Amino acid sequence: MRYVSTRGQAPAVGFVDAVLGGLAPDGGLYVPEAWPQISPAEIAGFADMPYAEVAARVIGAFADHEISHADLLEMCQEAYSTFTHSAVAPLTQLQPGLFIAELFHGPSLAFKDVAMQILARLYDHLLSAQGRRQTILCATSGDTGGAAVEAFRGRKSVRVVALFPEGRISEVQRRFMTTATESNIACVAVKGSFDDCQAIVKNAFQDQILRQAVDLSGVNSINFARIAAQAVYYFTTAASLGAPGRKVSFCVPSGNFGDAFAGYAAHKMGLPVAKILVATNSNDVLAKAFEDGRYARGKLTPTMSPAMDIQSASNFERLYFECVGREATETARAFEAFAKSGSIDLPPAAFARMRELFRGVAVSEADTTRTMVSTLNQTGELIDPHTAVAVAALRRAELDGPVVVMSTAHPAKFPEDVAKATGVTPELPRGIADLAKRPERFDRLPAEAETIKAYVHAFAEG
Ligand SMILES: *Cc1c(COP(=O)(O)O)cnc(C)c1O
């Protein structure tokens, strides 16, 4: 299986290079040359298979012969044994025909764990085979950093430097990063915004000297392995509800569009999907793209669902590439123009193709609060603000068949907002109940690229 860049100016590579490389060297994103297929009989069989076995099958379809099935299965079993629920992504019913897939039973209580746990093991496996040691630099608006630290702590082949904007993430989010005691982890509170952190990471990746000196790598949501790992729970949840005999719809709280794009991938691999509803908060760039045919970034507004406070959804480039008939020249033109002007008018044929599968709805803060309250009153389930955005979006859309809402965070990750809305303070699961008492360890640095690059260099040497 070869992976091509959406911008067409980078050589095709295998799965291993696509995963370790992250972004393609021409600035595009890797996509498989052709979508691997999973037969209806196999999909039906997923209904009662252990999650790790389905994961090894689905990720294995992308890895092809580059990783042995036995190795991949072992990595998947280890990765998903860190989850506190044996089903890994269990379904809970909210009302007839409406289910939530709880994707938050991993170590950092957010769905990012589903991909990051396997990604860390893939990195360790592939890098130790090559005798390499990489440095992962990541900027986080909250959940990616915690998931990355949980997944990579103590791993021999990888060091992690996590940058977060000081004072702009929740205490629980910060503590998932800063309480790690392993020496391969460094956390930095940056005196600036998340955008400042992201700009510094971008600057570091463009610095060829630093890049080579520390063998820099990234695990943000453009890494194709994350898409492959996230496609798995579309298969397992749909199979539980009768796929492939029954078409299922999905509703996905979206920011960078990685989760929802994984649903598209599952669909292209043969899973019958009725519709995917892309739910956003008031940062509605994706909702507008799917409803109005115009992808245009606006002003960033902070909300209760901070993991979705995004105005440029990196993975949208993958869908665009697919829907313009895989025309890399056109995709490169469109996204270079977007970088400059901040908007793309979707070509009518591409927009029509997107609408075959996708719909979008944006949800206000008031609606998010009301939905946390009504869900608790009607079902007894406490849901987090990101999940509430998706449930609220669903109330304003008509979808066919049974619907699965992707529940991307545990309510205890956002205790203040959940308690303010519902009057109920969610409790941390057993095992991490002492999170607030564990000692923290992090450094504070100004939002200056040179200072932070020097820090990364020194940490990698030390
Ligand atoms: C990252 C995240 C999202 C958004 O997922 P994307 O793949 O970026 O669209 C939604 N909810 C939570 C809790 C997240 O951490």
Better-scored residue on pLDDT, 142 or 74 = 74
pLDDT at 145 (0 to 100) = 93
- The architecture CATH gives domain 91-109+224-422: 3-Layer(aba) Sandwich (3.40)
- Residue entry with tokens 């991490």: 432
pLDDT at 170 (0 to 100) = 85
Ligand 1 in contact with 254 (CB < 6 A)? yes
pLDDT at 142 (0 to 100) = 77
- Using CA atoms, how far residue 29 sits from 51, 305, 322, 375, in Å, is 28, 26, 12, 38
Q: Which atom of ligand 1 is nearest to the CA of 104?
A: 13
Please tell me the distance from the alpha carbon of residue 27 to that of residue 401, in angstroms, as a whole number: 39
> How many Cα atoms sit within 13 Å of 58 on the Cβ side?
34
Ligand 1 in contact with 134 (CB < 6 A)? no
Lowest mean pLDDT among 249-258, 324-333, 392-401: 392-401
Model confidence band, residue 327 (pLDDT cutoffs 50, 70, 90): very high
Q: Over the stretch 222-243, which tens digit does the pLDDT of each residue have?
A: 899 999 999 999 999 999 999 9
For this structure, is 112 an active site residue? yes
Better-scored residue on pLDDT, 203 or 349 = 349
Ligand 1 in contact with 360 (CB < 6 A)? no
The Å distance, Cα 219 to ligand 1 centre, comes to 14
Predicted model pTM: 0.95
Ligand 1 in contact with 177 (CB < 6 A)? no
Model confidence band, residue 194 (pLDDT cutoffs 50, 70, 90): confident
Is 430 buried (19+), middle (13-18) or exposed (0-12) by CB count in 10 A?
A: exposed
Please tell me the distance from the alpha carbon of residue 450 to that of residue 343, in angstroms, as a whole number: 31
* Edge-to-edge strands, sheet with 158-165: 216-217, 134-139, 158-165, 185-191, 443-446
Please tell me the distance from the alpha carbon of residue 15 to that of residue 3, in angstroms, as a whole number: 7
Q: Which atom of ligand 1 is nearest to the CA of 258?
A: 7
- Residue entry with tokens 């798995």: 232
- Residue entry with tokens 């995917």: 276
Q: What are phi and psi of 186, to 5 degrees?
A: -130, 130
Average pLDDT over residues 87-92: 98
Mean of all residue pLDDT scores within the chain: 95
Model confidence band, residue 54 (pLDDT cutoffs 50, 70, 90): very high
- Length of the chain, in residues: 462
- Using CA atoms, how far residue 342 sits from 97, 198, 289, in Å, is 39, 17, 13
Residue 46 is given by DSSP the state G
Q: In the structure encoding, which two tokens stand for residue 219, read together? A: 């695990």
Q: Which atom of ligand 1 is nearest to the CA of 261?
A: 7
Ligand 1 in contact with 306 (CB < 6 A)? no
Name which of 126, 127, 150 is nearest 138 in CA terms: 150
Q: Over the stretch 4-53, which tens digit does the pLDDT of each residue have?
A: 999 999 999 999 999 998 888 898 999 999 999 999 999 999 999 999 99
pLDDT at 143 (0 to 100) = 86
Q: At residue 321, does pLDDT exceed 90?
A: yes
Those residues with Cβ within 8 angstroms of residue 196's Cβ, 6 or more apart along the chain or in another chain:
165, 190, 447
- DSSP per-residue string spanning 126-189: HHHHHT--EEEEEE-SSHHHHHHHHHHTT-TTEEEEEEEETTSS-HHHHHHHHT---TTEEEEE
Q: Over the stretch 256-310, which tens digit does the pLDDT of each residue have?
A: 999 999 999 999 999 999 999 999 999 999 999 999 999 999 998 999 998 898 8
Lowest mean pLDDT among 79-93, 122-136, 189-203, 313-327: 189-203
pLDDT at 22 (0 to 100) = 82
Q: In the structure encoding, which two tokens stand for residue 34, read together? A: 């052709």
Q: Whose CA is nearest to atom 14 of ligand 1?
A: 307
Name the 3-class secondary structure at 200. Answer: helix
Q: Which atom of ligand 1 is nearest to the CA of 310?
A: 8
Please tell me the distance from the alpha carbon of residue 85 to that of residue 90, in angstroms, as a whole number: 8
pLDDT at 57 (0 to 100) = 98
The Å distance, Cα 242 to ligand 1 centre, comes to 26
- Angle, in degrees to the nearest 10, between helices 365-379 and 415-422: 70
Q: Which of 308, 312, 358, 384 to mutate to test the pocket of ligand 1 (most atoms within 8 A of CB)?
A: 308
The Å distance, Cα 111 to ligand 1 centre, comes to 7
Ligand 1 in contact with 124 (CB < 6 A)? no
- Residue entry with tokens 């991993």: 106
Ligand 1 in contact with 221 (CB < 6 A)? yes
Q: At residue 312, does pLDDT exceed 90?
A: no
Ligand 1 in contact with 256 (CB < 6 A)? yes
Kindly provide the residue ranges of all beta strands, DSSP E only, lying in 126-266, ordered along the sequence.
134-139, 158-165, 185-191, 216-217, 248-253
With contact defined as beta carbons under 8 Å apart, do 384 and 411 qualify?
Answer: yes
Q: Over the stretch 392-425, which tens digit does the pLDDT of each residue have?
A: 999 999 888 899 999 999 999 999 999 999 999 9
For the chain, what percentages of helix, strand and coil (3-state, to nearest 5) are there?
50, 15, 35
**297 residue type, one letter:** R
Name which of 130, 134, 129 is nearest 161 in CA terms: 134
Q: Over the stretch 90-127, which tens digit does the pLDDT of each residue have?
A: 999 999 999 999 999 999 999 999 999 999 999 999 99
Provide the greatest CA pair distance for the chain: 58
